[in-house]
């Protein structure tokens, strides 16, 4: 018995994406209540991961979307914790606003400082961005120590990134770092995160690119 061939339409990239989103929307529980902006992020994260747990685990600060769009309109950078995240962010959509994707974790001064201090380069990368006063959007997909340090820098040293998109993956400190971020509704920096161990580059990149598409459409700020 042979399988029926794919329809030629479903071999086209745009048709595959459209069908994927149709399936996602049909399988999302009607019990979930998302705003239109939240839904745009959730469905892209699910599309990138094939994991519907993100419909339950993603958390959005009420000011997250507006903060991101304002930052983009001001030409803010996106700060990536690792090069995999840096590579995945849509440069076309970011450059439309005049921003860059920065990834200081590979800088020589960051590596030297981390060796001297005996901790991770991710920590030193966050400290470098804070010293420079970079008010870009921080996207953390892999390094829990980057997120933990970023939260500390916000709360204790006055760093003010425009938004923290923190979704590191892993078994050591990943869930804890995201829980700390999610508890910070009184902090001056809005956030998007997910609870638990899951996360990673696909989640971070999908969410960041969804935010960029929303911002290009001008949908986060009304009037």
Please state the pTM of the whole predicted model: 0.91
Q: Is 30 inside any structural domain?
A: no
| pLDDT interval class at 222 (50, 70, 90) | very low
Active site residues: 47
Q: What percent of the chain has pLDDT over 70?
A: 92
| pLDDT interval class at 32 (50, 70, 90) | confident
Structure confidence by residue, pLDDT tens digits, 110-119:
999 999 999 9
pLDDT given for residue 1 in this prediction: 44
Number of domains in the chain: 1
Q: Is 10 inside any structural domain?
A: no
Q: At what angle do helices 201-216 and 64-73 cross, to 10 degrees?
A: 70
CATH number of the structural domain spanning residue 82? 3.40.50.10230
Structure confidence by residue, pLDDT tens digits, 179-219:
999 998 889 999 999 999 999 999 999 999 999 999 998 55
Number of C-beta neighbours around residue 102 at 10 A? 19
Q: Is 25 inside any structural domain?
A: no
Nearest to 58 by CA among 182, 170, 174, 173: 182
**What is d(CA 165, CA 192) in angstroms, rounded to the nearest whole number?**
5
DSSP letter string, 5-22: PPPGGGGSHHHHHHHHHH
Q: Is 8 inside any structural domain?
A: no
Q: Is 24 inside any structural domain?
A: no
pLDDT given for residue 56 in this prediction: 95
Q: Which domain holds residue 76?
A: 57-216
Quick one: residue 98, left, alpha or beta (phi over 0 = left, psi -120 to 50 = alpha)?
Answer: left
Q: Is 136 inside any structural domain?
A: yes
Q: Is 85 inside any structural domain?
A: yes
């Amino acid at each position: 018995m042979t399988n029926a061939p794919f329809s030629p339409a479903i071999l086209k990239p745009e048709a595959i994406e459209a069908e994927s989103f149709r399936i996602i929307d049909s399988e999302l529980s009607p019990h979930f209540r998302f705003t239109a902006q939240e839904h745009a992020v959730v469905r892209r994260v699910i599309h990138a991961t094939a994991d519907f747990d993100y419909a339950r685990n993603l958390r959005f600060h009420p000011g997250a979307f507006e903060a991101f769009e304002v930052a983009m309109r001001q030409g803010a950078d996106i700060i990536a914790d690792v090069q995999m995240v840096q590579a995945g962010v849509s440069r076309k959509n970011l450059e439309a606003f005049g921003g860059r994707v920065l990834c200081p974790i590979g800088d020589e001064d960051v590596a030297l400082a981390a060796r001297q201090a005996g901790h991770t380069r991710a920590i030193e990368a966050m400290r470098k961005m804070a010293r420079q006063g970079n008010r870009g959007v921080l996207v953390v997909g892999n390094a829990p120590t980057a997120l933990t340090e970023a939260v500390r820098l916000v709360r204790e040293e006055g760093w003010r990134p425009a938004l923290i998109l923190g979704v590191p993956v892993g078994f050591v400190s990943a869930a804890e770092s995201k829980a700390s971020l999610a508890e910070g509704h009184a902090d001056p920096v809005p956030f998007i995160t997910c609870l638990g161990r899951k996360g990673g580059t696909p989640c971070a990149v999908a969410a960041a690119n969804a935010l960029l598409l929303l911002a290009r459409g001008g949908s986060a700020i009304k009037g």
